[in-house]
Amino acid sequence: MSNTIAIAGLGWLGMPLAQQLMTLGYRVKGSVTSVKKASTLQTKGMDAYEVNLTEEGVIGSPQGLLKDAAILVIMIPPGLRRNSGSNYVGKMSHFLKEVQASGVSEVIFISSTSVYGDGQAIVTERDLPAPEHDAGRQLFQVEQLFFNAPTLQTSVVRFGGLYGGSRQPVKFLAGRKNLGGGSAPVNLIHRDDCIGVLSEIIKQQKFGKIFNAVHPAHPLKKEYYTAKAEVLGLEPPTFADDADVAYKQVDSINLKMLLGYKFLSEL
């Protein structure tokens, strides 16, 4: 069996994942969005290819990316904003055809907790998502496309809000006033744990599953972001009084039950 892993999307998460997998002994190939970026990575020893998804089809070298790969990790950002009109489902349908035409049999599709509705309260992998916005609905549709593809064994990983490195969500909230949702819990995960979860799925061959990948601690947003702002020396945000607001808390059964995963980072 091939030990080659293809990563569609060598970005903020995809590149460090590639580096981690290479240290574990896997051969890694990856995609970026331009020939120039691919050439730059190739000069640094990374087997990189241009792959761009459009509503008309896939541009670049998708089969070059997928050739000889046993496992594909898809982390191509949807690029969706609420009511943006972008057809993410159409783009990913084209990519799915490329995947099915290749020799890849096992897939990890990176999704998001946005597939759950903002008022679904406490949810786990056993709860059916009820997305309220177009971005969440399209993401859930793409999950289903890959999860139900007859020639693939696909695991769907629904990440919470991503942080790590220079990415800290409170930087976007610092100094803002009268924000809503302060009494709702946070659903976050550090990049190190994203990489840890994905590495364990690959090592343990846990395909055909759904994982909610979110840190098990869920402090209230107003408490968490106020504390983080103080630590970083930023002006804390303030929140409106909304104690009775609908909320979403994303928990995981499968991270513990199927992977035995222990989180590396504290919130």
pLDDT digits (tens, 9 = 90+) for 103-125: 899 999 999 999 999 999 999 99
| Domain ranges, ordered by start, for the chain | 4-163+189-217+250-259
Helix (H) or strand (E) holding 96: helix 88-101
Phi, psi of 20 (to 5 degrees): -65, -45
Confidence of residue 1 (pLDDT cuts 50, 70, 90): low
pTM of the prediction?
A: 0.95
Angle made by CA atoms 23, 29, 31, in degrees to the nearest 5 = 125
Q: Which superfamily is assigned to 4-163+189-217+250-259 in CATH?
A: NAD(P)-binding Rossmann-like Domain (3.40.50.720)
Residue 17's H or E segment, with its range, is helix 14-23
Q: Work out the pLDDT band at 241, boundaries 50, 70, 90.
A: confident
Mean pLDDT calculated for residue range 133-160: 96
31-35, 77-81, 198-202: segment of lowest average pLDDT: 77-81
CA 207 – CA 196 distance, rounded (Å): 16
User: What is the mean predicted confidence (pLDDT) over 72-90?
Assistant: 79
85 pLDDT more than 70: no
* Short-list 204, 205, 198, 195, CA closest to 265: 195
Does the pLDDT of residue 210 top 60, yes or no?
yes
Q: Residue 258 corresponds to which amino acid? A: L
Residues 220 and 201: beta-carbon distance below 8 Å: no
| Size (the chain), residues | 267
Average pLDDT, the chain: 94
Digit-coded pLDDT (tens) for 164-180: 988 999 999 999 999 99
What percent of the chain shows pLDDT beyond 90?
90
Residue 260: CB partners within 8 Å, gap ≥ 6? none
Maximum alpha-carbon separation in the chain: 57
CA–CA gap between residue 124 and residue 172 (Å, rounded)? 28
The dihedral built from the CA positions of residue 109, 11, 90 and 161, taken in this order, carries a sign that is positive
Helix (H) or strand (E) holding 45: none
- What's the token pair of residue 255? 């991270």
